Structure 1
Amino acid sequence: MSEQEVYQNFIDWLGKTWWGLPDSEQLLPMIKARYTAEEAKFLTGFPFSGRSLEELADFKSMALDQLGPYLDDLSQKGILFRKESDNTVRYSLNDSYFVFFRSAFWPGLDDEDSQRMAPHVNKYYFDGFYDQYVTAHAKGLRALPINQTIEDTRQILPYEDVVKVLDNFEYFSVSACPCRHRKNLDDDSHTCKKPIGNCLHFDTLGRYCVENGLGREITREETERILKESADAGLVHGISNWKEKPDTICNCCSCCCLWMEAYHKLGHHKSLDASNYRLRIQPRECIGCGLCVKRCPMDALQLKFSADVQNKYNKAPVLDPPLCLGCGVCVHKCPTDSLTLERKDEIEDPPATIREYGMRFMADRKAGVALKRHGSY
């Protein structure tokens, strides 16, 4: 079998995951940058759900002492998912989204493999990979409000209170932001100056990252510090978009985040799912500095003239409500406290579980209806 056939067979197999693997001229060079031909041949047909070492030894007709170290090496590359529970280690093949847009860049390496892969991944994103999400009502991340920006903290929903969210976890880890890191590795892309060490993972995913060199273990206190520093830097807290056992909090910028880029550059109807909070503006308190306009990741605010505003510019921010994520990034640094978040009248719950989220995504993709873009400006 030729090398070309080996890679094509693997592409066909990896394309069977829930995310898929759309065709593109970037696909083969990207695959070659991530997998050797030997790995591609070995992984063709590899299960997408967890299997024990003994099961895989039978499946591959290999000795345990030969197979185990090889599977562990692939796990350390972020290609396989390795999970240990009840004294049993199970392995599964990671899907295309996970392996190209997440685990490949979590270590934050500036090595030859990462440099070779990043340009192809960046181009592949725009060349069809994210098109299937144009039909998705629920995005992969949901905006998590910055705590101090909510006017009445008694109304905070448990799954939108970052303190209560963190209470659910026993294990915390941090990795490099894969979105900003892959952009910064690519000479043909822009350079983002926002902090990178703030991709947070919890419990099972957190342990996987640490055990395989894709991140480092941190304390609850360090997690809170990273969230504070990210908020100060103007980054949006984006949490896994399901209520039960979310495993990730990203800290997203508008220029690199793949969900933000989907809105700003691919024309999707929204970026992240919005929180259940909306911005409340008190124009009379505003000094017209425009900081909120600069910090908004969705361009949802404009500084406009108003004769009723008593500042030297006679200007105050005006909101385009459908664009607002309810993230609190604008509120967090307002020098006059003229901005706050208040709970919306109608609450929209996220999917209950990751399984429900996946079922919604698949149903939307099957329906194939592109959704109308948010915003009225």
Structure 2
Amino acid sequence: MSAEQVYRDLIAWLNKTWWGLPDSPELLPLMRVTYTPAEARLLTGLPFRGVSLSELAAMKQMDPAELWPQMEAMARKGLAFSGQRQGEPFYGLNDSFFVLLRSSFWPGKDDLRTRQMAPKVNRYFRDSFFAQYADAHTKGLRAIPIQRTIADTRQVLPYEDVVQVLEGQDYYSVSHCPCRHRKNMDEDAHTCQHPTEVCLHFGRLGRYLDANGLGRPISKDETLEILALSADSGLMHSVSNWQEGVDTICNCCACCCLFLEGFHVLGHLRAQDPSNYRVSVNPATCKACGLCVERCPMDALSLEPHGQATNKKGLAPELKAELCLGCGVCAHKCPSGSLVLQHRPETIHPPQDARENVKRFFSEKAAAQQKRQAGGVEE
């Protein structure tokens, strides 16, 4: 079998997961630098949910002692998920979203593979890869407010309270932001000045990262310190977009975050899912410094003439309410305290768990496709 066919077979297998690999001139060159032919052969047919080493050895007709180091090496590259079940190693297929947009860049390495992958992923991302999210209103991440920017914390729901999210975890890990590192490793992309080691992971996912050198273990206090550093740096807290089993808090910037790039560059209808808050402005105390406009990751604020403004410029922030994610990045550093987050009129409940998130993803894509086929226009 030719090497190209080996990769074609892996592509076909990966297309059976929730996230596909659209055909593109960028695809095969990317697959070649991401997987070796031997890795592609082993991963083709590997169940997404995972099987024990002995089961996989039987599937591949290999000696477990020969197979084990190869699977461990792929886990260290982020190509396969790994863990222990009943005292035996198990391995599962990592989907293409996980490999190309997350695990390959978590370690923050500056090596040949990373340098080769980064520009190819960036081109494929814009060519067709991320278009799969264009029709989905339910995204993989949801903005979570910076706590101190909320005017009335009595209404904060557990899944929107970053402290409560952390309290429910039993393991904490940090990796580099894969979006930021991917951009920084691409000579044709901009260089982001924000800190990179700010991607937080919990529980089973965190253990997987640390066991394979994709991240490092940290304490809950260190996790809180990273969140504070990120907020001060102008980064937006973004959490797994479901209520139960949250395993990630990203700290996102407008220039690198894949969801924000989908909105700003690719024209998607939504960036991330919003929190249940929206910024409110007191024009009478605003100094018209423009810091909030500069910090907003959605370009939702602009300084405009305002009749209640008391500053010499006569300006105050004007909000495009439909763009506000309710993250609090603008309010966090407001020198006059003129911006706070207020609860939206209606409460939006995110999916209950990751499975429901994926169900909504497919349902929304199907509905948009049906609308187009019927000659309608997706709003």
State how far apart, in whole Å, the 2-side matches of 1:341 and 1:314 are: 23
The Cα shift of 1:372 comes to 5.7
User: Which amino acid in 2 is paired with 1:39?
Assistant: E
Residue aligning to 1:156: 156
TM-score normalised according to structure 1 size: 0.97
State how far apart, in whole Å, the 1-side matches of 2:109 and 2:102 are: 13
Residue aligning to 1:73: 73
Residue aligning to 1:277: 277
Of the structure 1 ranges 128-137 and 244-253, higher mean CA displacement relative to structure 2 is found in: 128-137
Residue aligning to 2:107: 107
Residue aligning to 1:12: 12
CA contact (8 A) 2:52 2:85 kept: no
State how far apart, in whole Å, the 1-side matches of 2:297 and 2:317 are: 15
Residue aligning to 2:41: 41
- The alignment partner of 2:128 has SS state of helix
State how far apart, in whole Å, the 2-side matches of 1:146 and 1:128 are: 33
CA contact (8 A) 2:13 2:45 kept: yes
Residue aligning to 1:291: 291
Percent same amino acid at aligned positions?
54
The Cα shift of 1:77 comes to 0.7
State how far apart, in whole Å, the 2-side matches of 1:85 and 1:49 are: 12
Q: Deviations over 1:69-119 (max 9, x none)?
A: 211111111000002244233211100000010000000000011001110
- Residues 291-370 of structure 1: matches in 2 within 5 Å? 291-367=291-367, 368=369
Q: Deviations over 1:295-352 (max 9, x none)?
A: 0000000100123211011100010111000000000000011110111121010000
CA contact (8 A) 2:300 2:324 kept: yes
CA contact (8 A) 1:145 1:328 kept: yes
- Residues 263-274 of structure 1: matches in 2 within 5 Å? 263-274=263-274
Q: State how many pairs are aligned.
A: 373
Of the structure 1 ranges 10-19 and 252-261, higher mean CA displacement relative to structure 2 is found in: 10-19
State how far apart, in whole Å, the 2-side matches of 1:71 and 1:7 are: 18
User: Which amino acid in 1 is paired with 2:228?
Assistant: K
Q: Deviations over 1:94-146 (max 9, x none)?
A: 00000010000000000011001110000000011111111112111000100
The Cα shift of 1:42 comes to 2.1
State how far apart, in whole Å, the 1-side matches of 2:39 and 2:86 are: 29
State how far apart, in whole Å, the 1-side matches of 2:55 and 2:157 are: 43
CA contact (8 A) 1:144 1:327 kept: yes
TM-score normalised according to structure 2 size: 0.96
Runs ≥4 in structure 1, deviation > 6 angstroms?
none
User: Which amino acid in 1 is paired with 2:174?
Assistant: V
The Cα shift of 1:231 comes to 0.4
User: Which amino acid in 1 is paired with 2:265?
Assistant: K
Q: Deviations over 1:36-70 (max 9, x none)?
A: 11111222222112101111111111112111121
Residue aligning to 1:130: 130
Of the structure 1 ranges 173-182 and 9-18, higher mean CA displacement relative to structure 2 is found in: 9-18
State how far apart, in whole Å, the 2-side matches of 1:168 and 1:286 are: 38
RMSD: 1.2
- The alignment partner of 2:242 has SS state of coil
User: Which amino acid in 2 is paired with 1:72?
Assistant: E
CA contact (8 A) 1:172 1:201 kept: yes
- Residues 109-258 of structure 1: matches in 2 within 5 Å? 109-258=109-258
State how far apart, in whole Å, the 2-side matches of 1:199 and 1:15 are: 27
State how far apart, in whole Å, the 2-side matches of 1:42 and 1:197 are: 31
The Cα shift of 1:193 comes to 0.6
CA contact (8 A) 1:269 1:372 kept: no
- The alignment partner of 1:340 has SS state of strand
State how far apart, in whole Å, the 2-side matches of 1:299 and 1:269 are: 14
- The alignment partner of 1:102 has SS state of helix
CA contact (8 A) 1:300 1:319 kept: yes
State how far apart, in whole Å, the 2-side matches of 1:14 and 1:90 are: 19
State how far apart, in whole Å, the 1-side matches of 2:330 and 2:378 are: 25
Of the structure 1 ranges 163-172 and 43-52, higher mean CA displacement relative to structure 2 is found in: 43-52
The Cα shift of 1:365 comes to 2.1
User: Which amino acid in 1 is paired with 2:180?
Assistant: R
User: Which amino acid in 2 is paired with 1:276?
Assistant: N
Please list every run of 5 or more consecutive structure 2 residues that lacks an aligned counterpart in the other structure: none
State how far apart, in whole Å, the 2-side matches of 1:258 and 1:21 are: 16
The Cα shift of 1:221 comes to 0.4
Q: Deviations over 1:272-291 (max 9, x none)?
A: 10000111111101111111
State how far apart, in whole Å, the 2-side matches of 1:130 and 1:359 are: 18
CA contact (8 A) 1:180 1:196 kept: yes
Please list every run of 5 or more consecutive structure 1 residues that lacks an aligned counterpart in the other structure: none
- The alignment partner of 2:91 has SS state of strand
Residue aligning to 2:26: 26
Q: Deviations over 1:153-196 (max 9, x none)?
A: 11211110000010010100000000010101111111111110
User: Which amino acid in 2 is paired with 1:83?
Assistant: G
Residue aligning to 1:88: 88
Residue aligning to 1:50: 50
